[in-house]
């Protein structure tokens, strides 16, 4: 293993540990807006992965470049998906077309409120004559 590759792997692992530590400190309420705002950074990571692939001269370098490009692409696509879902939450809902209001409470569900429902299932009314205990 060459010294340059060992140096690059050390920098990669240290950056990974620092990134995990920084992201772990972000509160959950800020995580989605923060991630949606960092799509440009993921794009720069993708460019860096492609540069590693161009300058690699052995199989290990190509494998590392492929893995880095794959994860950077997944981050870019995932960031835009999260941003789209977040923006969809803030869209105004279209006003429903005119819905005819029911005439009375009975038209809604066939009984008159809780008293009507209790009467239907036999709660709160006097027992019928001839009924057992």
Is residue 15 included in any domain, yes or no?
Answer: no
Is residue 58 included in any domain, yes or no?
Answer: yes
Is residue 62 included in any domain, yes or no?
Answer: yes
Joined tokens for residue 49: 């992965």
Reduced to 3 states (helix: H, G, I; strand: E, B; else coil), residue 63 is helix
Is residue 53 included in any domain, yes or no?
Answer: yes
Predicted TM-score (pTM) above 0.85: no
**Alpha-carbon dihedral angle through residues 110, 115, 119, 122, given to the nearest 10 degrees:** 130
Is residue 85 included in any domain, yes or no?
Answer: yes
Domain count, the chain: 1
* pLDDT tens-digit readout, 27-83: 766 766 666 667 767 778 888 888 888 888 899 889 988 998 998 888 888 878 877
**113 contacts: CB under 8 Å, gap ≥ 6:** 105
Domain that holds residue 84: 40-91
Question: Does residue 102 register a pLDDT over 70?
Answer: no
């Amino acid at each position: 293993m060459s010294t340059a590759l060992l140096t690059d792997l050390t920098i990669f692992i240290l950056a990974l540990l620092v990134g995990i530590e920084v992201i772990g400190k972000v509160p959950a309420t800020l995580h989605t807006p923060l991630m949606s705002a960092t799509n440009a950074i993921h794009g720069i990571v993708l460019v860096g992965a492609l540069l590693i692939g161009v300058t690699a001269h052995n199989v290990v370098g190509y494998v590392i470049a492929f893995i880095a490009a794959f994860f950077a692409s997944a981050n870019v696509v995932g960031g835009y998906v999260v941003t789209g879902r977040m923006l969809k939450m803030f869209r105004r809902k279209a006003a429903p077309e005119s819905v005819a209001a029911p005439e009375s409470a009975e038209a809604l569900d066939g009984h008159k409120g809780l008293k009507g429902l209790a009467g239907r299932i036999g709660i709160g009314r006097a027992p019928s004559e001839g009924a057992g205990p």
